[in-house]
């Protein structure tokens, strides 16, 4: 196990360390690990990365001002649009597609002199929890190559875990950044809905998803969120707030109010529960105030989430007819042409979710399923907002340790069950952070913290405190 944080690399670069040397170090990690892990769908040409490093070195030697992320290599989930590399969303439907524009978050990275190293693998259209459902190949967990890294941002998490990037952008619709963080000993933060622009994110569930910063430490996540957060006129869901600025002082344990929601801490495997309670009890011994509560409506959170997500997916993916994107049918008749393109372009899980979403929205069932789900979502949001006014919620990140490759694919319900603790924050639109708290039999375990809207600072401060207690900041495989 090694430790390396992006902010430390940034300080070295600013003190005169050659940027090209740092690029070479990261490329060496990619060469060592990528063949087995397969975190990336596409990688930038190494010589171009070196040229960007050389350009930054020249600017630093001249004393020119450089950006907040100067010289750091950032991996970008492949459902976020980039002009320099293809954007496939992990689907044959978009195989070879190159966007004519950059997502707002990518523009902000480049404006701060970050170097985009590549586009990371994901479950097709971000629909999955293991990163096995990519149309190209499964991604493996660097801590144990027989295990999954979680999903759908498993490529982003794995690229961080083996040192193939300094920072990463994922997306989180129901836990897609946080579950991989828990499984790879990295940190993932789902921001408040609307804090980070979704312009340029290929949509899955519009009312649920957020582009999410991922890194190897809480401080690095804060650094990345400061760059990508803030209002964007091109995103109708963007909140009219400025770019966030965070204090990097750890929270004081004494007086910290933490609520343990029984529906979000019960039902996990014994090794996961043991590490969770170790951290919670450590915080308590340091002076944190713990309170156990119940929110009965959370028993409906998982079916509520999937009903809404499937319905929105059915609507969003209707645009893919094999005409405006690379996947093409071959028949001349319209219905046959579109049907053939979708049969070839979409994978099994995407087809399943589209069909279930169409069913939930169909005449005679819409009120029973979709409308009912939106009402439950409002009840969940009300309860979560009420609770976060007086405490931070502590929750499990996953009910299980990282499954083995192929272990959960044959049973969709077992696959969806992996999201049981993470979907709550998406339904409520509030920020949530997952960070590592230990290892069981060599496999990482994470903990989840949930706060109220625009209370990312509380999560970062608490996360820094937990890092000081566990010593798990910046870890990656040797």
Which residues are designated catalytic? Answer: 77, 152, 176
Cβ contact 360:311 at 8 Å:
yes
Cβ contact 216:475 at 8 Å:
yes
The DSSP string of 139-177 is: --BTTBTTB---SSSHHHHHHHHTTS-SEEEEEESSSTT
- Could you give the CA distance from residue 55 to residue 98 in angstroms, rounded to a whole number? 25
Please compute Rg for the chain using Cα positions: 21
Taking each helix axis as running N to C, give the angle between helix 6-14 and helix 19-37, from 0 to 180 degrees, rounded to the nearest 10: 150
- Could you give the CA distance from residue 448 to residue 393 in angstroms, rounded to a whole number? 8
Instruction: Tell me which DSSP letter residue 453 carries.
Output: T
- Could you give the CA distance from residue 119 to residue 188 in angstroms, rounded to a whole number? 17
Phi-psi region of 416 (alpha: psi -120 to 50; beta: other; left: phi over 0): alpha
Cβ contact 455:196 at 8 Å:
no
Residue 202 burial by Cβ neighbours in a 10 Å radius (0-12, 13-18, 19+): buried
- Could you give the CA distance from residue 372 to residue 297 in angstroms, rounded to a whole number? 13
Q: How many CB atoms lie within 10 A of CB 443?
A: 18
- Could you give the CA distance from residue 240 to residue 78 in angstroms, rounded to a whole number? 27
Instruction: Tell me which DSSP letter residue 94 carries.
Output: G
Locus of tokens 């499954």: 403
């Amino acid at each position: 196990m090694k430790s390396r944080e992006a902010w430390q690399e940034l300080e070295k670069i600013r003190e005169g360390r050659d940027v090209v040397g740092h690029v070479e170090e990261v490329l060496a990690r990619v060469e060592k690990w990528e063949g087995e892990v397969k975190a990336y769908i596409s990688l930038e040409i190494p010589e171009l990365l070196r040229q960007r490093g050389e350009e930054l070195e020249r600017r630093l030697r001249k004393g020119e001002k450089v950006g907040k992320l100067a010289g750091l290599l950032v991996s970008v989930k492949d459902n976020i649009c980039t002009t320099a590399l293809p954007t496939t969303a992990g689907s044959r439907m978009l195989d070879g597609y190159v966007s004519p524009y950059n997502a707002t978050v990518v523009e902000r990275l480049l404006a701060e002199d970050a170097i985009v190293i590549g586009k990371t693998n994901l479950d097709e259209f971000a629909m999955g929890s293991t990163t096995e459902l990519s149309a190209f190949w499964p991604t493996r967990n660097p801590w144990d190559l027989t295990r999954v890294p979680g999903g759908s941002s498993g490529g982003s998490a794995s690229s961080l875990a083996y040192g193939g990037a300094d920072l990463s952008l994922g997306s989180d619709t129901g836990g897609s950044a946080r579950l991989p963080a828990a499984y790879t000993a990295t940190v993932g933060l789902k921001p408040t809905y609307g804090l980070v622009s979704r312009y340029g994110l290929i949509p899955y569930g519009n009312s649920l998803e957020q582009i999410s910063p991922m890194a190897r430490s809480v401080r690095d996540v804060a650094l990345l969120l400061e760059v990508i957060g803030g209002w964007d006129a091109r995103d109708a869901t963007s909140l009219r707030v400025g770019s966030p600025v965070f204090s990097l002082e750890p929270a004081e344990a004494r007086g910290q109010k933490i609520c343990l929601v029984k529906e979000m801490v019960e039902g996990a495997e014994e090794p996961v529960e043991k590490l969770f309670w170790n951290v919670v009890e450590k915080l308590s011994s340091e002076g944190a105030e713990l309170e156990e509560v119940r929110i009965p409506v959370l028993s409906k959170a998982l079916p509520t989430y999937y009903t809404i997500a499937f319905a929105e997916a059915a609507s969003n993916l209707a645009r893919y007819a094999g005409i405006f994107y690379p996947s093409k049918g071959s028949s001349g008749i319209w219905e046959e042409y579109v049907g053939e393109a979708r049969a070839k372009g979409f994978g099994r899980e995407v087809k399943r979710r589209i069909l279930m979403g169409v069913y939930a929205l169909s005449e005679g069932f819409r009120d029973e399923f979709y409308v009912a789900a939106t009402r439950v979502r409002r009840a969940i949001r009300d309860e979560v907002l009420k609770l976060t006014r007086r405490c931070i919620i502590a929750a499990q990140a996953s009910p299980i340790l990282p499954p083995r490759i192929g272990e959960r694919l044959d049973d969709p319900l077992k696959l969806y069950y992996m999201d049981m603790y993470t979907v709550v924050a998406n339904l409520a639109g509030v920020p949530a952070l997952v960070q590592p708290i230990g290892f069981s039999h060599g496999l990482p375990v994470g903990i989840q913290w949930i706060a109220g809207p625009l209370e990312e600072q509380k999560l970062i401060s608490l996360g820094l405190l937990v890092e000081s207690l566990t010593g798990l900041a910046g870890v990656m495989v040797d």
